[in-house]
Amino acid sequence: MFAMFKQLFSAITIFFVAVEKVAKASEHLATWSEETAGAFADEARVQRQAKMSAMMRETKVTEKQLAVAKAA
């Protein structure tokens, strides 16, 4: 009977260790995806700024004119 309890507690311990490993793995995946999304957002922000600068050079819009247009 004591051997049965020992095996039961051993099985429960192994189960919780496995659950902890799965939780840690999912945390690492979530961290990786968050960092990747941040990198994509930064890259998109830089590309939008470059397009805006190119459009402003192309149309020769000054910062002052842009501020007046935003205010209106």
Domain containing 59 equals 46-72
Residue 70 lies inside a defined structural domain of this protein: yes
Q: For residue 72, what pLDDT is reported?
A: 66
What's the pLDDT score for residue 59?
77
In a domain, 11, yes or no: no
Q: What angle do CA 24, 18, 30 make, to 5 degrees?
A: 20
Flag whether 51 is in a domain.
yes
12 in a domain, yes or no? no
pLDDT tens for the chain, 72 residues: list them: 889 999 999 999 999 999 999 999 999 999 999 999 999 999 999 999 999 888 878 777 677 777 888 876
What pLDDT does 21 receive?
97
Output DSSP code: residue 70. Answer: H
- The string of DSSP letters for 3-69 reads HHHHHHHHHHHHHHHHHHHHHHHHHHHHHHHHHHHHHHHHHHHHHHHHHHHHHHHHHT--HHHHHHH
Domains in the chain: how many in total?
1
CA–CA dist 67, 8 (Å, integer): 72
Position 15 in a domain:
no
